[in-house]
């Protein structure tokens, strides 16, 4: 069985990919279990570290090809796909160097006994990832799981599967044992089969689907990591450095055409600065160049007609609720001009729910207390940005804002490979990236040994 990859920039099919059937998944899991049982060397941390480092070099050698495929498969600008490849290398290097940080500890009980803990892998990890960052999120999930000694069954979106498949090929070339890292392509029925078959699940995607995955895991008592949606705010106080803030605010929305769970899709501005900041953001939006990803524009297409229809519908509903919309026009094909939605109140859908497109909802606030109230006025809590020269206020607001990751005078800087990432509330639970991911992909065993003769 096979299916076709489609370039959202053009609508053209450009590659035929193998398709996994749901009934094939148990055999993949059995292959993974066999690999864990047979590959005794894989239990040695230095062996896993070496394989991940070799995979990093394979990705570097294939960087141009991987970026080209990532752009054609998702529509994102080429420079963003190239950045994703660089981040992929960084993840592999980071976790190769972190493997030996998975340490236990001793617990003093006196001379009659020795007690210590070790961290052990879960076994076979199922990882279901979205279409917006297929290569980067694939390795963000797989690298710490492999580093911790697990086997991985990765299920990418059917809308973007090429680079995860290519990553699996490169992993085998790098010496990752056969069966230890496998990719199961196909639709949601394949993902459901993975969830029903593995020892640990990671899901990255929408909150609604995440709830269904959580219910399925609960039935089997399968441990679960959820990284879901966001409606993340940039909170801008009147003393902010706008020359620094405006480019970051614009980029935090336009990255990957706003199709990112961590997109800065709400703009909360102290009233004294509100008009000036909106004018500067709109001026930046007006200069945005749209085009096919391979031409390296500022903004590529949305991934599908379904996603475009959702964005346009939410814009129209915001207008009907009394908001003012600047931009946000359909630009042909799957392209959407950046939209700035003002006169927004906290009860509007456009304020509460992610569009997953280049649409920014803006609202003013008066004072620090209202800023925090508005920042926390959605069910999501993934990322937040705080912009102020007053560092005491920055710390107060960062403490009060409900978000798993808060940036002060910046937003999403540097890819954050080392920075723990995850949400609160409807944005999910558990943490990826950083050392926290290694801990998430391992479990604690306690060993007590009698020392009495």
Is a pLDDT exceeding 80 seen at residue 93?
yes
Tens digit of pLDDT for each residue in 320-344?
999 999 999 999 999 999 999 999 9
Give the pLDDT mean for 384-407.
Answer: 97
Cα 303 to Cα 106, 179, 281, 334, 392, distances in angstroms: 51, 31, 24, 7, 41
How far apart are the C-alpha atoms of 135 and 374, rounded to whole Å? 34
Angle at 91 between CA 6 and CA 80, to 5 degrees: 40
How far apart are the C-alpha atoms of 28 and 190, rounded to whole Å? 12
Tens digit of pLDDT for each residue in 405-418?
999 999 986 568 99
How far apart are the C-alpha atoms of 380 and 227, rounded to whole Å? 11
Confidence of residue 231 (pLDDT cuts 50, 70, 90): very high
Angle at 267 between CA 262 and CA 273, to 5 degrees: 150
Secondary structure class of 117 (helix, strand, coil): strand
How far apart are the C-alpha atoms of 272 and 290, rounded to whole Å? 32
DSSP state of 405: E
Output the pLDDT for position 259.
96
Reported in sequence order, the residue ranges of 221-283 that DSSP labels E, i.e. its strands, are 224-227, 233-236, 266-270
Is a pLDDT exceeding 70 seen at residue 3?
yes
Output the pLDDT for position 413.
62
Share of the chain above pLDDT 70, in %: 99
Does residue 394 contact residue 375 with C-beta atoms inside 8 Å?
A: no
How far apart are the C-alpha atoms of 1 and 21, rounded to whole Å? 8
Describe the crossing of helices 25-38 and 188-195 by its angle, rounded to 10 degrees. Answer: 40
Q: Confirm whether 2-228+428-450 and 233-416 share one CATH topology.
A: no
Determine phi and psi for 324, rounding to 5 degrees.
-105, 130
Does residue 151 contact residue 158 with C-beta atoms inside 8 Å?
A: no
424: which strand partners? 381
Output the pLDDT for position 272.
97
How far apart are the C-alpha atoms of 418 and 278, rounded to whole Å? 33
Tens digit of pLDDT for each residue in 340-363?
999 999 999 999 999 999 999 999
Task: Give the tokens for residue 355.
Answer: 């569009």
Output the pLDDT for position 19.
96
CA 245 and chain centroid, separation: 23
Catalytic residue IDs:
227, 261
Tens digit of pLDDT for each residue in 34-85?
999 999 999 999 999 999 999 999 999 999 999 999 999 999 999 999 999 9
Output the pLDDT for position 415.
61
Output the pLDDT for position 412.
83
Give the pLDDT mean for 271-277.
Answer: 97
Output the pLDDT for position 177.
97
The overall average pLDDT reported for the chain is: 96
How far apart are the C-alpha atoms of 109 and 188, rounded to whole Å? 50
The CATH number assigned to the domain with range 233-416 reads 3.40.309.10
Is a pLDDT exceeding 60 seen at residue 212?
yes
Give the pLDDT mean for 92-109.
Answer: 93
Q: What is the pTM of this model?
A: 0.95
Tens digit of pLDDT for each residue in 12-30?
999 999 999 999 999 999 9
Rg (CA), the chain: 23
How far apart are the C-alpha atoms of 266 and 361, rounded to whole Å? 5
Does residue 411 contact residue 249 with C-beta atoms inside 8 Å?
A: yes
406: which strand partners? 384
Does residue 302 contact residue 331 with C-beta atoms inside 8 Å?
A: no
Residue ranges of domains in the chain: 2-228+428-450, 233-416
Is a pLDDT exceeding 90 seen at residue 100?
no
Domain 2-228+428-450 has CATH 1.10.357.10: no
């Amino acid at each position: 069985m096979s299916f076709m990859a489609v370039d959202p920039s053009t609508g053209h099919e450009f590659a035929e990919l193998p398709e996994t059937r749901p009934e094939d998944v148990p055999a993949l899991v059995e292959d993974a279990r066999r690999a864990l049982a047979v590959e005794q060397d894989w239990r040695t941390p230095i062996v896993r570290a070496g394989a991940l480092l070799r995979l990093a070099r394979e990705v570097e050698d294939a960087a141009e090809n991987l970026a080209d495929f990532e752009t054609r498969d998702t529509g994102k600008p080429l420079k963003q796909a190239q950045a994703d490849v660089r981040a992929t290398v960084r993840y592999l290097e980071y976790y190769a160097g972190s493997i030996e940080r998975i340490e236990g500890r001793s617990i003093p009980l006196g001379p009659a006994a020795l007690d210590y803990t070790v961290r052990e892998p879960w076994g076979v990890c199922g990882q279901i990832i979205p279409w917006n960052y297929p290569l980067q999120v694939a390795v963000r999930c797989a690298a710490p799981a492999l580093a911790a000694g697990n086997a991985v069954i990765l299920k990418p979106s059917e809308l973007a599967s090429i680079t995860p498949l290519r990553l699996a090929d490169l992993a085998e070339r790098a010496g990752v044992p056969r069966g230890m890292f496998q990719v199961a392509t196909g639709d949601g029925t394949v993902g459901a089969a993975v969830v029903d078959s593995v020892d640990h699940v990671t899901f990255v995607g929408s909150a609604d689907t995440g709830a269904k995955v959580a219910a399925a895991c609960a039935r089997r008592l399968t441990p679960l990591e959820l990284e879901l949606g966001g409606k993340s705010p940039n909170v801008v106080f009147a003393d902010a450095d706008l020359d620094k803030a405006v480019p970051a605010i614009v980029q935090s929305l336009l990255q990957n055409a706003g199709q990112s769970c961590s997109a800065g899709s709400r703009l909360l501005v102290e009233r004294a600065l509100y008009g000036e900041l909106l004018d500067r953001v709109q001026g930046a939006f007006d200069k945005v160049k749209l085009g096919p990803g391979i031409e390296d524009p500022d903004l590529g297409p949305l991934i599908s007609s379904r996603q475009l229809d959702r964005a346009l519908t939410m814009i129209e509903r915001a207008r009907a609720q009394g908001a003012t919309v600047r931009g946000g026009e359909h630009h042909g094909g799957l392209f959407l001009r950046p939209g700035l939605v003002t006169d927004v109140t906290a009860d509007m859908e456009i304020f509460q729910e992610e569009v997953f497109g280049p649409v920014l909802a803006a609202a003013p606030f008066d004072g620090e207390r209202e800023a925090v109230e508005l920042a926390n006025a959605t069910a999501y809590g993934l990322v937040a940005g705080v912009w102020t020269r007053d560092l005491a206020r920055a710390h107060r607001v960062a403490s009060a804002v409900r978000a798993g990751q808060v940036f002060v005078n910046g937003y999403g800087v540097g890819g954050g490979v080392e920075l723990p990432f995850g949400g609160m509330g409807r944005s999910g639970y558990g943490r990826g990236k950083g050392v926290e991911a290694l801990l998430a992909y391992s479990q604690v065993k306690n060993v007590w040994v009698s020392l009495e003769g």
